[in-house]
Chain A
Amino acid sequence: MNFITRTVGNTEVVEITGDVDLKVSPLLRKSLFAALKKSEKVAVNLSNIAYIDSSGIAVFIESLRESQKLGNMFVLFGMSPKVYEVFKLTHVLRIFQIFENEAQALGLEAQ
């Protein structure tokens, strides 16, 4: 797995590529928490995730809670059917703001 963070206006866009499992989720947590400290909004691109387990989902939940603590926004976009299935199995879909694409996640395009 690798992840790249880029700044777009007031948002940190985090691109995740590859498998997200217990091997890499601690590193992902660090990266997302750092992004949350840097900008008022973090948008995570899920479209290039090949596989995700519950340790990855738990990192997103922790990041959402951290963003609420900081008064920031944490949103997800580009959810593939594979990733959607895991979110569904863990019953956490309703707690996240999920957008179809980056433009919508950044508020540049209507949903």
Chain B
Amino acid sequence: MTHIEPTNPGGLEFKAHLELSSNVGFLSVVRSTVEALTIELGWSPEVAMSIKLAIDEALTNKIRHAYDSRPDGQIQIDIMTVRKGLVFQLSDQGKAPDMRRLCARKKLSTEPGGLGTHIIRDVMDEVVYESVGVNNLLIMTKYFPASFPYPETAGEGNP
């Protein structure tokens, strides 16, 4: 499992680990958590909404594709602040994603599938897919904007 060391961005350290079934009923619970957190960390309601959407899309993809919409799979979500932003790591033990199909949809296509991965890439600053043993990881980072009250960390590199 990828290990990311949390850091404290100016007294707003946050670290949470969620374990949930691949049940669509939990989507709204995760959305509420992400929205509340991103607003608290200082993002505008518009950006908070887009981050919430990206995480919802990532979770939806795991439910649909890793577990074929079965509600009994297991999904782990780690959320943590790091020096440069907020990291979301979603992990499942279902089917690995087909890397050839990720973002294969053309942006102006009228096909109904593949919309979610484009949203994730458009909203997040870093998106990494990894398979480690049986774990399929999706690690997404949203950078803090330069206007955040962490001038000593602005523009620095890795966590």
Q: Give the residues in chain A near B115, CB-CB below 8 Å.
A: 54, 57-58, 90, 92
Q: Which residue of A lies closest to B69 (CB)?
A: A22
Q: Does residue A15 face the partner (Cβ distance < 8 Å to B)?
A: no
Q: Which residue of B lies closest to A58 (CB)?
A: B112
Distance in angstroms between the alpha carbons of A95 and B111 in the assembled complex: 11
Interface residues in A21-49 by Cβ distance below 8 A to B read: 21-23
* Chain A interface residue bracket vs B: 20 to 34
Q: Mark B109-130, 1 if CB is under 8 A from A, else 0.
A: 0111101101100110000000
Q: A22-B60, A65-B110 are in contact. Are A89 and B123 (CB under 8 A)?
A: yes
Q: Does residue B46 face the partner (Cβ distance < 8 Å to A)?
A: yes
- Tally of chain B residues near chain A (CB < 8 A): 26
> Chain B residues in contact with chain A, CB under 8 A?
24-25, 27-28, 31, 46, 49-50, 53, 56-57, 60, 63-64, 107-108, 110-113, 115-116, 118-119, 122-123
Excluding A55-B60, A89-B122, A95-B110, 18 further A-B contacts by CB distance (< 8 Å) are A21-B28, A21-B60, A22-B27, A22-B60, A23-B25, A53-B60, A54-B60, A54-B115, A54-B116, A58-B112, A58-B115, A61-B112, A86-B53, A86-B119, A89-B50, A89-B118, A92-B115, A94-B108
